[in-house]
Amino acid sequence: MISRVVHSSLVLALGFIASFAFTALGARPAGEAALLLATIASLALSLREWRRAPLLVVSGMLIGFLSELAGLNFGFPFGKYTYLKFDQAQVLGVPVPVV
């Protein structure tokens, strides 16, 4: 049995193909509408598979923060650098907008 993720990927791919076809035929608004509907359908099909997506976001932010903290304080892994425009919101010297 094909998983929901595969189904959602196929729906999105068909949306891209339909969008290209409509645009090539001079009906760009119809192509954009087809792509939008395919995106919505794809998201709806894969919704249950995305329960752990917030964990991915939080772990990415944590890895980014730790990398910036190491870079600003020790010059590793990016070399020595500083931020000039972020004086306000900082956490341990790392500007919040960077995280």
What is the spatial distance between Cα 32 and Cα 21, in angstroms, rounded to a whole number? 11
pLDDT digits (tens, 9 = 90+) for 12-46: 888 889 988 998 899 888 888 988 998 888 888 87
DSSP H or E segment with residue 87: none
Asked if residue 34 and residue 23 are part of one domain, the reply reads yes
Non-local CB neighbours of 35 within 8 Å, separated by 6+ positions: 15, 16, 18, 19
pLDDT digits (tens, 9 = 90+) for 75-89: 877 778 777 776 777
Asked if residue 58 and residue 39 are part of one domain, the reply reads no
CB 6 within 8 A of CB 33: no
pLDDT digits (tens, 9 = 90+) for 34-78: 889 988 888 888 777 667 667 767 888 888 888 888 888 888 777
Asked if residue 91 and residue 61 are part of one domain, the reply reads yes
What is residue 1's predicted lDDT score, i.e. its pLDDT? 45
Domain count, the chain: 2
Asked if residue 77 and residue 39 are part of one domain, the reply reads no
Provide the residue range defining the domain that includes 10.
4-50
What is the spatial distance between Cα 22 and Cα 37, in angstroms, rounded to a whole number? 14
Asked if residue 41 and residue 68 are part of one domain, the reply reads no
Distance of CA 60 to the CA centre of its chain: 11
Asked if residue 70 and residue 40 are part of one domain, the reply reads no
Asked if residue 26 and residue 13 are part of one domain, the reply reads yes
CB 4 within 8 A of CB 46: yes
